Amino acid sequence: MAGTNTTCWECRFFNNDPAWLERALPGLNVLSSAYASVRAEAGICSRRELFLSPTTGCEYFEREMRDFQA
């Protein structure tokens, strides 16, 4: 399901987990840390290979399917 009215925040390609970012961007912690407040909620789009804000959106959006447990 593609669409431009949705944000990276909800996309399966977006990852902003601090531990994952530090592994994906070696040397990041030399400047600061992926846990720092200046990063805010930014992350990486694995589809477009970009570091961006989760409020962005694009034509490659695919909703993240989450497993909900009762």
- Which pLDDT score is estimated for 1? 44
- Which pLDDT score is estimated for 31? 66
- The partner residues of 14 in beta bridges, in order of sequence, read 45
- Which pLDDT score is estimated for 64? 79
Q: What does pTM read for this prediction?
A: 0.73
Residues 6+ apart with CB under 8 A from 8: 14, 43, 45, 52, 53, 54, 55, 56, 57, 58, 61
- Which pLDDT score is estimated for 6? 85
Domain residue spans of the chain: 1-65
- Please give the structure tokens belonging to residue 13: 């390609």
Q: Is the pLDDT of residue 69 over 60?
A: no
pLDDT tens readout for residues 2-50: 445 689 999 999 999 988 988 888 877 766 666 676 678 899 999 999 9
Predicted confidence band of residue 66 (pLDDT cuts 50, 70, 90)? low
